[in-house]
Structure 1
Amino acid sequence: MQDTKKGEVVMGKISESRKIKFPEAIGLLVAFVAILMWGALSAGIPTGISICLCSFTAALYGIIVLHKSWNEIQTGILKVIGIGMPATLILLMVGLISGSWLSSGTTPILIYWGLKILNPSIYLAVTFLITAIGGMATGSAWAIMATFGVALMGVANGLGIPAPAAAAAICCGSYLGDKWSPLSDVTNLASAVTEENSFRLFGCMIPTSGVSAGIALVIYAVMGFVMGTHGTFDASQTKEIISTLEDTYTFNPILILPLIVVVVLAVMKKPIFPVLVIGAGIGTVFSILIQGSSVTDALSALYNGYTVTTGNEAIDGLLSGGGLSYMMSLILMLFCAFVFAGIMESMGLLDAILEKLIKVAKSRGNLILISMITTVLGVYMTSSVYVSTIMNGRMYLPAYEKEGIDKIALARTLTECASNFGAIVPWSNGAIIMLSTFGVAWYQYAPYMFNHWLAMILVLICGYTGKFLPLSKKQDIESQDIYNTDTGGK
């Protein structure tokens, strides 16, 4: 068997590869969803295995039916792995810094202060605000969840706040701040692929994620009030945790230095990978000098995680964890998703769906709805916010321009949908960080992601009503109907 530019030589005949058709793409998509649902709800097998089954099915179809060569498929896989590798390295650093800060006392002192200052009535609202400010300052939702988030989750456990609600408030705030940060990779990427600038995008997002943030803050405040009034908060449990923390660690204000260094370097636009390494390094030094850990124990915490034994099982679970090894099973699942996404890329499956859907859109509202759906679908099929943003941005830019919609509206759609679902898709980096850092699965915290859902609903409302929908000023709008059909909804 020999690869050629046109296809493969099989039994002396050239079998040319062909593009996948829309019905085939939809059929495969349904099959993949069925496999994933079967694995999760019926078979009870690990998500990574379900994704591998999808990959195997897709590769067989590509080779046997579409006559793709293995080199084509492998090239697609390696391309997606290359795109996703930086995010994978950050996941490793999340494990590294988590183990380091638990052993050094950095995370425990933040939990300690939080338990003394916060109460159930204000926890959710304050957490949402703190993480939003942190995300805006650093431009990295992942960094905030791995640092502030860990401490705030510990506070939630001490205050008796339900873990899914606490995780959602942390995640929503972190992602909101990330989207509104000049340092944000997602926002800058969406601006770049639509040939816009991020500061104009910030203004365009005020009616969507800006308004939704205000509504979410009110909802979190009401939830907190209800929890504080009718909840089962046990003050004695909080006092016990505070007392145990005092007995277990040597507290010194300098322990927050690793957090300060990480935030300052992130604000200075330093690459997040070395920033997290530096933060973990300082934490390891503090573990040795302040907590009295041996060099062996301090370094072992980086790989195996930190383990503490206080005699209280709940507190031990709160103060133990992290380490590179803890992240490995999650990273393996992520690599399975990369392989699947690469096969999708080589087959052109999503391109076939996008091209067809663009042709059937008959109004501005429908075009925005379809672009939202395919952007979310892109995250599901590739596990990457970046791949989905680039792919959909390239595909929809001409359609938005010809339909008379300003390019900045496409940037808003990409940012609000791809970024938000990057925290919800089970095999996406954001959801993996949520599971590994907080121990809460996507289906548990997703119902409390008020800002995420509301922002996307508002994007859709803007599309169908025309309110706060920026229109192009370059050409006469009525002459730009690329569909030559009824323009109802415009």
Structure 2
Amino acid sequence: MIYSAAILFTAILFISIRLEIWIACPLLAGLAFSAALACKQGTPCNTVARHAFEGARNSFAVAETLLYVGALTAAWRESGTIAYLVYHGLLFLSPPLLLPGSFILSAIISMLIGTSVGTISVLGIPIMIIASSSGTDMPMLAGAIIAGAYVGDRGSPLSSSAQLVASVTDTLVENNMRRNMRDALPVIVICSLAYGLLSWFMPPISPHTDLAEQLGGAFALTPATLVPALVVIFGPTFKIRARYIFLCSTLTAIVLATTLQGIPPVKALHGILWGYEIHGTDSLARLFAGGGICSMAAPIIIVLLSASTIEILIRSAFLTRAERGIALLFPHLGAYLTNAVVSLAASAIACNQTLAILFTAKIQQKFYRTPREKTAFAQMISNTAVLLPVLIPWNVALTLPLSILGATTASIPFIFFPLLMPLLGWRCIPPVTPAPDNPADHRQAP
């Protein structure tokens, strides 16, 4: 019954996306259903409630990061950082190279700073603003930017996802990174060529010739406005935690907004909370308004609901039964394909990347014991649980980048790297045959 419930829950999520129902509604229903199922299995209701709260509490760090991202995206608009990047980006806009160039630049920056969100904020917003002012195919471009951003999420030693994979698989992050980059290079080349071919099918770009002039009139465009972006780019090299990098960048941007752009402090703080508003031409207001802490309310609610649901499932008989089911899949599908199936299911249920990685590892980790098996397991998770959440329409790994870029789920078919890496990555992983535990060693369901 519990497997049928999981399938039904995933189907409801997919239908909700198709019908454009706010995803929190089916997630809330899933949480209630999971709680009712746990109570039916004999777990006291107060215990189920405590598990739900613990799950939400465990995701507070993710929610906190989302708040910082919302503040940062508004602060960069206020300080002129985005305007400066757009102003100079207009000078180098090359239509034939826009798609592959955006992917490659996004991949490089993500490898440098180790965060997909930071990459999309630094690079993605300016490129999307330039593109939206010139008639470029937005889904293709957003897909290329997001795909490049997740190259570093998987392969940068500064990536929190890479650190998490090393931790849950009991491997060394340095060794994992060398293997991950070796495995990813052919896929990166294929993606670059694919985006180059797609660029031939994009409509001609006709940039607004007056946009640069409008920007010059609305913002003080000096090199100092780049400081908040430089904080994000170089902060990880000093091993500063992401939340502090975002905070420092936001505070720097607020100072620039009040001193350089002449925005009153009260208005600047109002923009940080509710989003930046620019008064002027309609085109500038349409392109630059947005961001703010409140814009992250929907992703935060998704994270909290999914984390509570996952915690209830893990504390119930679901984990034990899932392990038994996985043990039956290994002989038929092999280790890599079994891991891909588990990662895809975890990505659909967990609704954010961190929980998908933890859930995938927790269900399978007992099957990988030797150092060689753990190394292969780390490679498999890097190819699947780290990347597959980006392809799930209701997963925060996708909804947050789309929200930052102002794009839609129409971009999913063009996010090539997270799509191709799981399909092609199996070739570089040494064959392993995980040995399931003796059935007598399995935990008993409560």
TM-score, length basis structure 1: 0.83
The equivalent residue for 2:132 is: 157
Q: Is 1:315–2:277 an aligned residue pair?
A: no
Q: Distance in 2 between matches of 1:226 and 1:38?
A: 31
The equivalent residue for 2:57 is: 82
Q: Does the 8 Å CA contact 1:409/1:470 hold for their aligned counterparts?
A: yes
Alignment partner for residue 171 of structure 1, among 146, 157, 165?
146
Task: Give, in angstroms, the shift of residue 206 of structure 1.
Answer: 4.3
Q: Distance in 1 between matches of 2:317 and 2:215?
A: 54
Alignment partner for residue 451 of structure 1, among 393, 417, 436?
417
Alignment partner for residue 413 of structure 1, among 371, 380, 388?
380
Q: Distance in 1 between matches of 2:268 and 2:329?
A: 60
After TM superposition, list the pairs within 5 Å mapping 1:286-365 onto structure 2. Answer: 286-312=256-282, 314-362=283-331
Task: Give, in angstroms, the shift of residue 256 of structure 1.
Answer: 0.2
Runs of 4+ in 1 over 6 A off after TM superposition: 480-484
Q: Distance in 2 between matches of 1:482 and 1:429?
A: 32
Relative to structure 1, is the Cα distance of residues 244 and 383 closer, same or farther in structure 2, using a 3 angstrom cutoff? same
After TM superposition, list the pairs within 5 Å mapping 1:65-80 onto structure 2. Answer: 66-80=41-55
Relative to structure 1, is the Cα distance of residues 174 and 265 closer, same or farther in structure 2, using a 3 angstrom cutoff? same
Q: Does the 8 Å CA contact 2:10/2:349 hold for their aligned counterparts?
A: no
Alignment partner for residue 77 of structure 2, among 102, 105, 111?
102
Question: What letter corresponds to residue 210 of structure 2 in structure 1?
Answer: E
Question: Mean Cα displacement is larger for which, 193-202 or 88-97?
Answer: 193-202
Q: Distance in 2 between matches of 1:192 and 1:380?
A: 23
Relative to structure 1, is the Cα distance of residues 360 and 268 closer, same or farther in structure 2, using a 3 angstrom cutoff? same
Question: What letter corresponds to residue 166 of structure 1 in structure 2?
Answer: L
Q: Does the 8 Å CA contact 1:408/1:470 hold for their aligned counterparts?
A: no
Q: Distance in 1 between matches of 2:399 and 2:70?
A: 12
After TM superposition, list the pairs within 5 Å mapping 1:4-403 onto structure 2. Answer: 24-42=1-19, 44-64=20-40, 66-206=41-181, 208-227=183-202, 231-235=203-207, 237=208, 239-312=209-282, 314-362=283-331, 366-401=334-369
Write the deviation string for residues 395-415 of structure 1: whole angstroms up to 9, x where unpaired.
43443458x963222111111
Task: Number of aligned residue pairs: give it.
Answer: 438
Q: Distance in 2 between matches of 1:351 and 1:454?
A: 31
The equivalent residue for 2:443 is: none
Task: Give, in angstroms, the shift of residue 241 of structure 1.
Answer: 1.6
Relative to structure 1, is the Cα distance of residues 151 and 354 closer, same or farther in structure 2, using a 3 angstrom cutoff? farther
TM-score, length basis structure 2: 0.91
Q: Distance in 1 between matches of 2:15 and 2:110?
A: 36
Question: What letter corresponds to residue 389 of structure 1 in structure 2?
Answer: I
Q: Does the 8 Å CA contact 1:204/1:408 hold for their aligned counterparts?
A: no
Q: Distance in 2 between matches of 1:393 and 1:337?
A: 17
Q: Does the 8 Å CA contact 1:122/1:225 hold for their aligned counterparts?
A: no
Write the deviation string for residues 308-352 of structure 1: whole angstroms up to 9, x where unpaired.
13333x432111111112222332233222232232223242442
Q: Distance in 2 between matches of 1:175 and 1:344?
A: 28
Q: Distance in 1 between matches of 2:226 and 2:135?
A: 25
Task: Give, in angstroms, the shift of residue 283 of structure 1.
Answer: 0.8
Write the deviation string for residues 376-397 of structure 1: whole angstroms up to 9, x where unpaired.
2112212233333234334434
Calculate percent identity across the aligned residue pairs. 20
Q: Distance in 2 between matches of 1:386 and 1:282?
A: 29
Q: Does the 8 Å CA contact 1:59/1:73 hold for their aligned counterparts?
A: yes
Question: Mean Cα displacement is larger for which, 246-255 or 381-390?
Answer: 381-390
Structure 2 unaligned blocks of 5 or more:
439-446
Task: Give, in angstroms, the shift of residue 482 of structure 1.
Answer: 6.4
Task: Give, in angstroms, the shift of residue 281 of structure 1.
Answer: 0.9
Q: Does the 8 Å CA contact 1:80/1:342 hold for their aligned counterparts?
A: yes
Question: What letter corresponds to residue 13 of structure 2 in structure 1?
Answer: L
Q: Does the 8 Å CA contact 2:120/2:405 hold for their aligned counterparts?
A: no
Task: Give, in angstroms, the shift of residue 273 of structure 1.
Answer: 0.9
Task: Give, in angstroms, the shift of residue 111 of structure 1.
Answer: 1.0
Relative to structure 1, is the Cα distance of residues 350 and 217 closer, same or farther in structure 2, using a 3 angstrom cutoff? farther
Bigger radius of gyration:
1
Q: Does the 8 Å CA contact 1:99/1:305 hold for their aligned counterparts?
A: yes
Q: Does the 8 Å CA contact 2:299/2:396 hold for their aligned counterparts?
A: no
The equivalent residue for 1:470 is: 430
Q: Does the 8 Å CA contact 2:356/2:385 hold for their aligned counterparts?
A: yes
Task: Give, in angstroms, the shift of residue 280 of structure 1.
Answer: 0.8
Relative to structure 1, is the Cα distance of residues 45 and 388 closer, same or farther in structure 2, using a 3 angstrom cutoff? closer
